[in-house]
Amino acid sequence: MPTTWLSDYAARSLGNFEASSVLDRDLSRLALTARDDSVARERLFTLLAAKIERFAARFRDWPLAPWTFEDILQEAYPIFVETLRHWQPRIEAGAPAGYLYYFLRVYPHWMSDAVMKLTGRRRPAVLTLPEHYCAVDPGSVEAVVVAELLLAELCEDLSDEEARILRLRVHTDRPLSQVASQVGLARRTAYRRWHNIVELSRARCDEERSAS
């Protein structure tokens, strides 16, 4: 992959597009071929380049020394290849589907993980979604059902206090400071509980990724 891929590829990409079921089906067909075809792989990477650039640009002003932003860019293509390897296509109307939604959900997290690993920083305390959830169209009824199942699975391994925190965060989208007050916890205690929840979600996803 050329080190100047951003300026070159982004000019021929789809740009900062909006996801749609039609675009998802087209990209999913290409993604299925791209697993074993280098030409299709480069084409798909080109089409997604503007989105990838936006994900990578978040780290442009980070203190990365001794690394540089160019080192971060070198992680972009291998991570893209990993999305192809781990994506599990579903079939709709006789054609593969789901890659675009999967890519948009997992790529930013995997890029963040790569930067954290490179720089030795701690990952931000955000929930990591399992791949079977990432393959679902976020606007579908199926997404709501899968999300509730995921929530129930996580809560099974949490204390009652942690489960309440998780449900409030997911269902109300309130800041953790407000959740802490509602649950009756000190803010620092709530942040420790949330850290435990995040680590559990990551552990589950790591297990799923290793098994695939």
Same domain, 102 and 140: no
Same domain, 139 and 120: no
Q: What is the pLDDT of residue 183?
A: 87
Same domain, 189 and 209: yes
Q: What is the pLDDT of residue 36?
A: 95
Same domain, 198 and 112: no
Q: What is the pLDDT of residue 200?
A: 76
Q: Within 10 Å of residue 9's Cβ, how many Cβ atoms?
A: 22
Same domain, 137 and 108: no
Q: What is the pLDDT of residue 17?
A: 84
Same domain, 1 and 83: yes
Same domain, 116 and 12: yes
Q: What is the pLDDT of residue 99?
A: 94
Give the residues of the chain that fall short of pLDDT 50.
Answer: 1-3, 5-7, 9-10
- Here the tokens at position 94 are 């006789």
Q: What is the pLDDT of residue 10?
A: 47
Say if residue 31 is exposed, middle or buried (CB neighbours under 10 Å; 0-12, 13-18, 19+). Answer: buried
Q: What is the pLDDT of residue 19?
A: 87
Same domain, 85 and 181: no
- Inter-residue contact 204 to 157 (CB < 8 Å): no
Same domain, 53 and 10: yes
Q: How many distinct structural domains can be found in the chain?
A: 2
**Radius of gyration for the alpha carbons in the chain, expressed in angstroms and rounded:** 19
Q: Which domain holds residue 186?
A: 133-212
Instruction: Express each pLDDT in 13-35 by its tens digit.
Output: 788 888 888 999 999 999 999 99
Same domain, 209 and 153: yes
